[in-house]
Amino acid sequence: MITHAYEITLRHFLNCFFREADNYTLHSISVERNSYYLEVPLLGAQSKQRKLEIKLILSGVLQSPKWLLPVFLVEGNKKHPLAPLQVIELIVDVLSGDVGSFTGAEVIRRVMNSACHLEKILSYRKSNISQAFKTVESHFIQSEQMLLSGHRFQPDAKSREGFSDAEFHEYSPETEGKFQLHYLWVKKTLLSTETAMDQTLEALLISFMGDEKDGLQKPSERYHLFVLHPWQALYLLEMPEIEACLKTKEIIDIGTTGLWFYPTSSVRTVYSPTANIMLKFSLNIAITNSVRVNLEKECYRAKAVHELNQNQLGEVLTKKFPDFRLVTDPAFIALKVNEKVLDSSICIIREAPFQAHEDISAIAALTEINPFDNTTRLQTLILQVSRMQQLSYEQAARYWYKRYLTVVVAPVLWLYSEYGIALEAHQQNLLVKLENALPVAGLYRDSQGYYYVKDHPNLKNIATDRELEFLCDGTLEFVDHHFCYYFIVNHLLSVIEALAATEYICEKVLLEMTQSFFMHFAKSYQTSERFSKKLLEDKTLPAKANLMTRLSGLDELQAPLTQQSVYVEIKNPFEVMHECV
């Protein structure tokens, strides 16, 4: 299984290299079959005689690569196959010479960490994996725990530095983790908390204890209940300032108890089907590209987004798109010691505006590839639509995608076109509700992913300065760039690729459908045509270079907004189709 895990890891790594780098030459093998080989010259004294040779097949329009392993090392007239890790090490060596600000060894370590975790995931899930991908009807937590191999443009999609093997198994969504939360009694003088919920925050936390709440003894009215992820509790309780509070009884440890919670695709955000609520914890663990710790400013941003949605923005969006919903975070609670909020203690409370049994899925779960047979759940949905509607496979794929554009894509695009509010709507943040295998509603989660164009003329109609204070603003150029990557490249192109990969419908048809949608969008939804027109006319689209970002040593949650990631430009397939028409 470890060999298979490394092969998947190598394919993801090569996806990044192919998109981000220019240290290679592409040679055609067969035009009819779209087959090629990639030649990568290697560094060193014998560099002119040493190179990598990698066979691949490219899709017709999007040029999505399908890698044919193994990779060969060519030395003069000789060539021999390499193990996946050897290939990664050689390419990192080539790229490190270009970037120069970060050690390739750090990237190799994260890639190995990811591959080892992927091996654990595949070993654990191999018995039920086929059923998960072939199910027509699913539910929220099943879908959230289905991202087994992860984002295919991440070089270390399953890296998780900080978990032991036992903790990885217990706290990871991919291994169907579930656990009870850890509780403390905390003196109110040590709390930083705000809520916009109808019930008190303590009443909510007490409800998480289930039947155990009957035996709960509150020390006095000077105390408030506090909740932690069990890994977070182990981390915090070893901090000197927390140990001091335990000794003075300002904090009283209750322990682990109560309802069962399930980790979702973000790992640190957990969900209880019983309480029907999500909690976003701080975890001092490096998960893919960042240490996942909530920041105090993010608490106030989340509260601002909730207020914005409760007021005019939510009303306007619901009126225009009654089947689209913004999922918000109405409360937070944190420890404050010596007048300083401990970011590592923060818990953000997120609403769950659906029922646990409903078929709610992140887009990433629909496009996720079964690591054993390369199918997707999206393929299963298209087959079901074909059977139920008595349509050909291509007609069913067209029908599904048209519904998807209307239910999920249109509201997000309209919000930006009309008010300059850009949602960081990537595959994992966009959710779709399915009924009879078809999209019927859309949801967006992540209060940190709200950006707006400064001085946008329509913004004052739906938002006050106070509501916008904690959101991220930027120039039109910056927000266009950010929104274009997350919503169009990361999300929409991935849906098109996944649909085309079923072979029920070709890329060209899907791109033509999307192009037509953009061309008529402004008139259909009575809004500005500027951005949809831009998508049809720009020669290139921005794409986040995750491999180069790692090699540059950037932490995307800690770096300044404009310097969080490295970006490259890719050919705009919508502009290509626009020219054809």
Q: What domains lie within the chain, and their CATH numbers? A: 2-121 (3.30.310), 178-350 (no CATH), 360-580 (1.10.510.40)
Interval 529-538 mean pLDDT? 97
From residue 153, alpha-carbon distances to 149, 350, 490, 541 in Å are 11, 28, 9, 16
Residue 579 has pLDDT above 50, yes or no: no
CB 308 within 8 A of CB 459: no
| The pLDDT value given to residue 580 | 43
| The pLDDT value given to residue 542 | 97
Burial 300-312 (b: 16+ CB within 10 A, else e): ebbbbbbbbbeee
pLDDT in tens, 145-183: 999 999 999 999 999 999 999 999 999 999 999 999 999
| The pLDDT value given to residue 12 | 98
Model confidence at 557, in pLDDT bands (50, 70, 90)? Answer: low
| The pLDDT value given to residue 48 | 61
Interval 400-407 mean pLDDT? 98
Residue 327 has pLDDT above 80, yes or no: yes
- State how far the Cα of 195 lies from the Cα of 167, in Å rounded to an integer: 31
pLDDT in tens, 468-517: 888 899 999 999 999 999 999 999 999 999 999 999 999 999 999 999 99
Residue 55 has pLDDT above 80, yes or no: yes
Sign of the dihedral through C-alpha 65, 66, 68, 70: positive
pLDDT in tens, 57-83: 999 899 999 999 999 999 988 999 999
Q: Write down the pTM of the prediction.
A: 0.93
Q: What are phi and psi of 492, to 5 degrees?
A: -70, -40
Model confidence at 26, in pLDDT bands (50, 70, 90)? Answer: very high
Model confidence at 45, in pLDDT bands (50, 70, 90)? Answer: very low
Model confidence at 131, in pLDDT bands (50, 70, 90)? Answer: confident
At 90, list the tokens.
């050689």
Residue 216 has pLDDT above 50, yes or no: yes
CB 466 within 8 A of CB 349: no
Q: Any residues with CB less than 8 A from the CB of 170 and at least 6 apart, and which? A: 177, 179
Residue 581 has pLDDT above 50, yes or no: no
Interval 248-267 mean pLDDT? 96
Neighbours of 84 (CB within 10 A): 23
Q: Which residue has the tokens 């990557």?
A: 485
Beta bridge partners of 181: 257
Three-state secondary structure string covering 133-155: HHCCCCCHHHHHCCCCCCCCCCC
Residue 214 has pLDDT above 90, yes or no: no
